[in-house]
Structures are given as structure tokens and as C-alpha cells.
Amino acid sequence: MSTFPKFDEANTGTLTTVLDWLRWGASQFDEAGLYFGHGTTNAWDESLFLLASAINQPWEMIDKIRQAALTPVEQKAVYDMFKQRVDARIPAPYLTGVAWFAGFPFKISQDVLVPRSPIAELLMKSFEPWLTDAPTQVLDMCTGSGCIGISVAHQFPESEVVLSDISEDALCVAEQNILFHQLSDRVTAIQSDGFDGLQSRTFDLIIANPPYVDAEDFADMPPEFHAEPRLGLVSGDDGLDFTRRFLSQVRDYLNPNGIVIVEVGNSCLALENAFPSVAFEWPEFENGGLGVFVLTKEQVDSI
């Protein structure tokens, strides 16, 4: 049974302004012990993000209206959003239907993971110093919402990008984002289990954010992660089932001078133990994150 305060109890007459509801929401989130990490890192920002969506205002403008009084209808909309976040433990972007990645908004649903890869930091630096020339053919494997590949298309205006995923439902979301970003002329979505549906195609840049969570870690994750599609998270006992298959095949799809960028998160140590002869390069991130490796064509061919 929910312990979240009833609306009549919450709306005692003291919660009237935007600031009142922001503070109250943050307090409720802290008290409930929510996990943050799907777009925000703390209760205040989570409260702001949800409130802005509930009253249909840009989140970056909320500070300018913090003393504005909410109407009764707006108060109920905010309350309902907060209650659902606490009771169902659903990550905030699923409730709003929007997530941000590399400075761009993306439509999302529970058919895809919430965008949050540290690959965004490499992308916004044009993958330098590993990528010396702008890529013309790009593959974003395990694309989910399409956020990585679509952001690459923005970063490299001359590129053609393929978004691939095994999930039809995920590809439906990716296709919505292709249209939303008006990139249908350069970005396509293809259903493929790994490389199986990409025969004869080769790429200058291959990026993958595959499932890489091991079974034990998944069981211990906060409830918010269990609201995401398991298919996009779990990959065998050590988290490397997909990555092993990927590394055994990628050489046939990478052009000369091309590079491969793959996120494996906390499974990075298991990966190095599984491939001791491979010189994985692990970039450091200014904005946090770990477990992303880079390989050149020469390194890929040596596997």
C-alpha cells in the first residue's frame, strides 16, 4: 500500500507556488529513498524535471516562475507525477516521455533504456583524438532510442548513420526520433541481432552500447533499473555474452582507419580478463562514467 500523502493532505493551503511544490517534491523523494541516475543526480533536480513536465513548461525556465501560483489543476497534475515516481519507482524520463542526451531531447518509452551513456562526452568532442577524419558511414548498434546515432548525425552533418537493434519496439521509438530530428535523409533504422542483418555493409565508426550487466548485479540493482527493458541490460553471467560475439565479428564490418567504441560499464575488468592480449583503451571522462573502450582497425583485426 502506498504511503505517499493523499492529495488533500498534501495540499494544505501552504503549497501554492512552483517553489512550494519543488521543495515538497524533493522532500518526498528523499524520504522515499529514491534512486537517481536516469537524467538527474538528486531529489531537487528530479522534482524540477517532473514539475516542469506536469505544468508543460521548459525545465530551464522554471526558476523564472518559481513564485508563480499553480492552479488547482496544475497542482493535481504535479502531485500525480510525484506520486507515480515514488509508488512505482519508474525513472522520471519514462513519466515525462522525454530524455536529454548530448544536448538534444529524445522521445522515449519503457521499450528503451533511458539515455545516459558517457559516450556522449566523446561524441561532443568528435571522438578526437581517435577519429582523425569525419566518418561518412556510421553504425549505432543496440541503438534503443537512437540517441547516440542521431547525435552523431548532428555532430557530423555529412554522415550516413544506421541505427540497429534486435527489438522491434525499440526501433519504433528510434524511428520516431529520426522523424523528430528531421534526419530521415541520412539516418535509417534496421532490425538486426548483432551484425546478422547488416551483411555486406561496412562503417568508418561503429558504436555499441550493448547489454553488459551480469546476472548478480542486475538482481542487486535499485527498482528503477527493473523498470527498464531487461533485454537492454543483462548479458549472461559475466555481462559479456553480447560483447564476445560482437568482438568476434566486428572486423568484417569496419573500414580501414575506422574505430570501434563500446560501453561495457562495470564489466570492463571481466572483459580485460577474457581478452588479455587486446590493448583496450579506456578514455577518462570529465563528467563521470567508466567502462567505454576504443579499438582501432588494426587492434580489431588482431583479435
pLDDT digits (tens, 9 = 90+) for 245-263: 999 999 999 999 999 999 9
For position 9, what pLDDT does the model report?
A: 59
CA distance 150 to 161: 8
For position 6, what pLDDT does the model report?
A: 84
pLDDT digits (tens, 9 = 90+) for 1-50: 467 888 875 555 789 999 999 999 999 999 999 999 999 999 999 999 99
Cα pseudo-dihedral 56, 73, 64, 97, rounded to 10: -30
Distances (CA, A) of 200 to 32, 36, 132, 166, 300: 52, 42, 24, 18, 18
CA distance 224 to 113: 11
How many CA atoms within 13 Å lie on the side-chain side of 200? Answer: 0
Q: Which residues of the chain, if any, have pLDDT below 70? A: 1-2, 9-12
For position 8, what pLDDT does the model report?
A: 74
By the 8 A CB rule, do 18 and 78 touch? no
